[in-house]
Structure 1
Amino acid sequence: METRDRARLDAYFARISWEFAPSLVPSSLLVTQLRPESPAFVRAVGTVSRLRGVLPGPGPVDGAAQREVGRLFAVDELSRERLADPGTALTYLETRAAGEPVVLLDAGGCFAPSLDALCERFSGSVLGVVEAGESGHRRYAEREKLPCPVVSVARSPLCEPEDFLIGQSVVSSAEVLLRGRGETPQGRRALVLGLGAAGSAIARLLHAKGTHVTVYETDPERRAEASAQGFDVVRDREAALRSAGLVVCATGALSLRGEDFAALPDGAFVATVTGPAEEPANEPEPPRLPDGYSRYTATRHVTRYEADGHYFYAHNAAAAVEVPRGADADPHLSLVQAEIMAGMHALADGGLPAALHEPPTTARSKIAALWLHYFTER
């Protein structure tokens, strides 16, 4: 990572730490992706809390970032299975923070299955959970009763820049492929399976380019939202696939199955997307590609699948697309990371009931203003 990027991140998080330092410093456990730009965020969490353990994930771990974090904090293996077991999760918490007030900084609902046991049996106290992932948000939201407050940043407006970059990556790859064949997105019908944050961003980007966008979604509120945004909403998923030139799988429950591919028109383009804070177990499930198809490299990041005269294209071999990372640090994720710290501040200062919450809008406004100051304004 460039020295200037590192210095800018350090300065930004130093200010965020000052703004959101709790009056009573809690202990914390942190589930987070370890990318080249992550150590600045981890150090900031360690500044405003007694950071007792870092659980790297989801997704690939940058070795240099892990070593840098490991020199300052305990780095433990992230295992959803272990944390889902109440006894094992309790033992881990006791090992790291026995008798202390703790905030659990979660991503993907790792602590959700064992949360009742942790709140009831831990020798210290669980002040609450801050959740960063959409799948984790759903896990906590589906609970009939929560044993402690949960602050979710998964649906914050500050997540939208990351979602936009994911959408941009998919749409750009589709454009490169289509223009190489003398086509444009305007000539295609797009089917978006699932209108979550990333799916919505892709649908809007395609719509802005003149593409006819159809949405298949099981949630009635999101179906209404899709209709209000000008997209066609369909109930017949199979019929929609037969006319789709571009298919975006934005949720695991609606991912393509092997038999679906034969229904695709020749030359259809398939992509799977995921949000930046999802755990692999909660990412959209990659489409199960059918047997008997030969594969060829079409363009960078795009594979052509062909069998018996039928062919289609898959972005990234149908694996989930994340935000593209280059040599420079991507500062957009630091918006959400700062909001995680704001959530920890709200929990440590107390007063929140045992329910699902969002950080206050005043905190978001402060974070956005600071981010603009450090990363965009000259």
Structure 2
Amino acid sequence: MESPERARLDAFFQSIAQQFPAGSPATTLVITHLLSERPAFLHAMAKVSTVGAVLPKPRSIHQPTLDEVRSAFTVHDLTRALFSDASRALHYLEDAVGGKDVILLDIGGYFAKSLDTLVGKFSGRVLGVVEDTENGHQRYAALGNLPCPVISVARSPLKDCEDHLVGRSIVFSTEALVRGRGDILTSRNACVIGFGKVGRSIAQTLRALDLRVTVYDKDPVRQVQAHSLGFRTCGSAADAVREAELVLCATGNLALQQGDFAALRNGAYLGSVTSSEDELELEGLHSLYQRSAINPQLTRYEITGHYFFVLADGGAVNFLHGAAVGSYIHLVQGEILAATAALSHGRFEPGMHEMAASDRHTIARTWLDHFEG
């Protein structure tokens, strides 16, 4: 990031911190994508909390950024296993931030499985969770009676711009990978599984590139929405992928299970919008299919009479090219800062929450003041 842009971003975050001041002292554990713009956000977070540790998502680490962050913050390795076992998660929290008031910043519901134990048995206090993604939102909502406040920004209107551009960046990176193999997407059959905000953007972008797009979503309302926009729809994921030469999964919640892969057309390209463990049940194929690396970002899966290609080992395709969505991502980062400050004031009861519309208006006006034009 160039110096003038970094100065503008720092000024934006400073203004957010001033308008949403923190309450009682709190320590944050920050799960995050570690991309080139992220240090500015982490330094802003340090103004509203003590950053106890940064846990980068393994598939979205920019090495120079990691080096920079390590010089300023404690950095720990992140795995699903670290927080899927409640006793192990509790042990980690005690070692990292024992006895403190803690706010958990999440991307993908990592803390969800162990949340009851963390809230009930931790030597400090878990003040709450801030969740950034749709799949994480779903993981926390599925818990039912939450033991602490969970503020989700996943469905915030401020995230709409980011989600739209994420869809475009997914298609950009997919096209780059396919072209790298000497292939093109134009005039192909494509399938998008999941017609949320990102999936809709993907489908519209693919159609603009002259692909024939089929949509599947298990939510019948979204199926109707896709149909009303002129997309072909199907009644099951297996039916939707059967004729597709490109399949992009954007559900945030296991799009294809083991039995679905057999329906893929020979030679189809398969990609994901989020982590492979969230979208694709690939591990069950490892004993059935022979895998061979075509290049570092393209893997061929083959069994007698059937083969297909997986992009980016099933991880988020757009992170291959930095997942850049411009300054719009700072709208959501501003809302995360505001949500962290709100939790430090103890304003929310246990349960799922969103920030108030007035808070979002303040963040949007501040963004316009700093980035418009």
TM-score by length of 2: 0.81
CA distance in 1, matches of 2:244, 2:365: 41
Give the equivalent residue in structure 1 for 2:355: 359
**2:271 matched residue in structure 1:** 272
Structure 1 residues 91 and 183, CA, compared in 2 at 3 Å: closer, same or farther? closer
CA contact (8 A) 1:171 1:206 kept: yes
Alignment of structure 1 residues 1-378 onto 2, 5 Å: 1-172=1-172, 185=186, 187-208=187-208, 211-251=211-251, 253-255=254-256, 260=261, 264=265, 270-275=269-274, 281-284=277-280, 320-322=316-318, 325=321, 330-377=326-373
**Cα distance in 2, alignment partners of residues 104 and 368 from structure 1:** 24
Equivalent pairs: percent with the same residue? 40
Question: Quick one: distance in 2 between partners of 1:119 and 1:258?
Answer: 38
Tell me if the contact between 1:127 and 1:348 (Cα under 8 Å) persists in the aligned partners. yes
Q: CA deviation at 1:58?
A: 4.3
Q: Counterparts of 1:59 and 1:118 in 2: how far apart (Å)?
A: 26
Deviates more, 1:207-216 or 1:83-92: 207-216
- Cα distance in 1 for partners of 2:43, 2:118 equals 26
Q: Is the 8 A contact 1:296 1:305 kept in 2?
A: no
C-alpha contact (below 8 Å) 1:27/1:101 kept by paired residues: yes
Number of aligned residue pairs: give it: 368
Shift of 1:49: 0.8
Q: Structure 2: how far apart are the matches of 1:109 and 1:8?
A: 31
Q: Spell out, residue by residue over 1:209-259, the C-alpha distance to the aligned partner (whole angstroms, 9 max, x if none).
A: 665432122233433443444433311444443433443233463338698
1:71-125 Cα offsets, whole Å, 9 max, x none, are 3322222232122222232233233333332211112111111111121122222
Letter in 1 for 2:269: V
Structure 2 CA distance, aligned partners of 1:243 and 1:36? Answer: 38
Summarize deviations over 1:104-158 as a string: whole Å, max 9, x none: 1112111111111121122222111101122211110101210011001122233
Secondary structure of 2:254's partner?
helix
Structure 1 residue identity aligned to 2:271: T
* Alignment check: 8 A CA contact 2:84 2:114 kept: yes
The answer to whether the 8 A contact 1:269-1:315 is kept is no
Aligned residue for 2:34, secondary structure, equals coil
| Structure 1 SS opposite 2:5 | helix
Letter aligned with residue 199 of structure 1 = G
Offset from partner CA, 1:170-203 (integer Å, 9 cap, x none) = 444677879x999984x44432122233222111
SS at match of 1:254: coil
Stretch moving more, 87-96 or 354-363: 87-96
- Displacement after TM superposition at 1:19 (Å): 2.0
Q: Relative to structure 1, is the Cα distance of residues 8 and 347 closer, same or farther in structure 2, using a 3 angstrom cutoff?
A: same
- Match of 1:4, as an amino acid? P
Q: In the alignment, residue 87 of structure 2 is paired with which amino acid?
A: G
Cα distance, 1:103–1:295 mapped onto 2, change above 3 Å: closer
Distance change >3 Å, CA 213–CA 144, structure 1 → 2:
same
Look up the equivalent residue of 2:27 and give its one-letter code. S
C-alpha distance in 2, partners of 1:339/1:69?
A: 22
What is the RMSD computed on CA atoms of the aligned residues? Answer: 3.7
Q: Deviations over 1:290-335 (max 9, x none)?
A: 95799868xx988999999999776557653125646989433322
Helix, strand or coil: the match of 1:359?
A: coil
Q: Distance in 2 between matches of 1:327 and 1:200?
A: 18
Taking the aligned partners of 1:328 and 1:81, their CA distance within structure 2 comes to 29
Letter in 1 for 2:31: V
Q: Distance in 2 between matches of 1:88 and 1:293?
A: 33
Tell me if the contact between 2:249 and 2:273 (Cα under 8 Å) persists in the aligned partners: no
Question: Residues 370 and 95 of structure 1: is their aligned pair in 2 closer, same or farther, counting only changes over 3 Å?
Answer: same
Deviations 1:348-368 (A, max 9, x none): 222322111112222222222
The 2-side partners of 1:193 and 1:327 are apart by 20
Residues 133 and 304 (structure 1), Cα distance of their counterparts in 2 relative to 1, 3 Å cut: same
Indicate the SS of the match to 1:59: strand
Looking at structure 2, the residues matched to 190 and 223 of structure 1 have their Cα atoms a distance apart, in angstroms, of: 16
Gaps of 5+ in 1: none
Give the Cα separation in 2 of the matches to 1:98 and 1:181: 54
With normalisation by structure 1, the TM-score equals 0.80
Aligned equivalents of 1:344, 1:166: Cα separation in 2 = 24
Matched to 1:273, the amino acid is S
Mapped contact 1:173–1:315 kept (Cα < 8 A)? no
